[in-house]
């Protein structure tokens, strides 16, 4: 039901932007920023509780100090990779994000096999490719705000010239891996397969037609973050492991810390000179946070799949 409601919201947003009133760039930015602060960052702010629940599910000891040390260490390590090797860091982030998006959207399927993992990563790559490559003319000025973007103008120009080839390759990989997955996994019913393909088609159309910021806001905030939060709360509430009050306090505390960290990082650069700069630094902040977050979520979805068997 929740997926239907979220898709309906996306369709209404698309109809409004296409046929009623076009949303100007400043309004798109305000919607994007508000969504990131209210839903985007909070959906990753329960990682401590999720990790604790993961340890409990695996009958392992959990140390808050050890968790925070490893979590912050991974965050700093990925930030260093982005700083020293920006091209490799961005490619690594896109791979992480693609897998994380795919695993969230496809968690109802058995994806712990080789065909399942290829299914997951190819799904996420299509989503990211549609958002970034189809709207590359909107994304390019954000890349060029940073020194790494200006220094790698040749790579950016190559991507611009070949973006639809890359997008087509991602689509071909997805449909091939989907066919193979459904062929070797008899569990999804015809109805489940049909619903999945319809949802995927609707999401792609929405992302294809909406401008970059609105499309990213729909997918990351309205779709991904809401579904993630729903899955997280359900997981943490299993057997009343954590109360709603505890979950809410955790999310508020770590959301405030994450937002403060991104803001402080931005103050050391040029985050607040323009809306593009704010968007760019937010993307970098989300990239750094994705590295430790996706590991926690991967363990959570593994636990959910094991309990479902």
Q: What pLDDT score does 146 carry?
A: 66
Structural domain range at position 242 = 29-55+62-304
Which pLDDT band holds residue 218 (cuts at 50, 70, 90)? very high
Write out pLDDT tens, residues 279-293: 666 777 777 778 888
pTM of the model: 0.86
19 in a domain, yes or no?
A: no
Average pLDDT over residues 9-28: 86
Q: Are 100 and 290 in contact (CB under 8 A)?
A: yes
Those residues whose C-beta lies under 8 Å from the C-beta of residue 19, and which sit 6 or more positions away, are none
15 in a domain, yes or no?
A: no
Q: How far is CA 102 from CA 96, 127, 304, in A?
A: 10, 9, 15
Q: What pLDDT score does 251 carry?
A: 84
Write out pLDDT tens, residues 105-141: 988 888 888 888 999 999 999 999 999 899 888 878 7
Q: What pLDDT score does 45 carry?
A: 82
Which pLDDT band holds residue 275 (cuts at 50, 70, 90)? low
Asked if pLDDT for residue 271 goes beyond 60, the answer is: no
Write out pLDDT tens, residues 61-114: 888 889 889 988 988 888 888 888 888 888 888 888 899 999 999 888 888 888
299 in a domain, yes or no?
A: yes
Q: Which of 226, 284, 283 is nearest to 29 (CA)?
A: 283
Please tell me the total count of domains within the chain.
1
Q: Which residue has the tokens 């993630």?
A: 228
257 in a domain, yes or no?
A: yes
| Alpha-carbon span 116 to 101, nearest angstrom | 14
14 in a domain, yes or no?
A: no
């Amino acid at each position: 039901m929740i997926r239907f409601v979220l898709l309906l919201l996306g369709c209404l947003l698309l109809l409004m932007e296409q046929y009623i009133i076009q949303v100007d760039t400043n309004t798109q930015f305000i919607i994007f920023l508000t969504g990131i602060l209210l839903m985007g960052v909070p959906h990753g702010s329960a990682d401590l509780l999720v990790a604790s629940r993961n340890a409990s599910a695996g009958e392992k000891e959990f140390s808050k100090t050890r968790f925070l040390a490893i979590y912050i260490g991974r965050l700093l390590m990925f930030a260093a990779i982005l700083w020293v090797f920006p091209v490799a860091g961005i490619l690594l982030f896109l791979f992480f994000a693609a897998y994380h998006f795919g695993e969230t959207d496809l968690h109802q399927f058995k994806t712990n096999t080789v065909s399942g993992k290829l299914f997951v990563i190819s799904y996420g790559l299509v989503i990211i490719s549609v958002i970034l490559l189809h709207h590359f003319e909107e994304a390019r000025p954000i890349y060029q705000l940073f020194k790494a973007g200006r220094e790698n103008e040749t790579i950016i120009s190559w991507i611009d010239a070949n973006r639809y080839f890359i997008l087509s390759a991602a689509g071909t990989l997805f449909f091939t891996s989907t066919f193979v997955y459904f062929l070797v996994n008899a569990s999804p019913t015809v109805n489940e397969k049909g619903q999945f393909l319809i949802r995927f088609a609707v999401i792609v159309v929405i992302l294809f037609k909406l401008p970059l910021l609105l499309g990213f806001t729909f997918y990351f905030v309205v779709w991904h973050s809401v579904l993630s939060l729903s899955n997280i709360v359900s997981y943490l509430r299993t057997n009343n492991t954590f109360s709603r009050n505890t979950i809410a306090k955790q999310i508020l505390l770590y959301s405030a810390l994450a937002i403060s960290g991104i803001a402080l990082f931005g103050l050391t650069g040029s985050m607040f000179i323009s809306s593009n700069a704010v968007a760019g630094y937010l993307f970098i902040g989300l990239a750094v946070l994705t590295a430790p977050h996706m590991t926690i979520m991967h363990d959570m979805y593994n636990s959910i799949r094991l309990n479902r068997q």
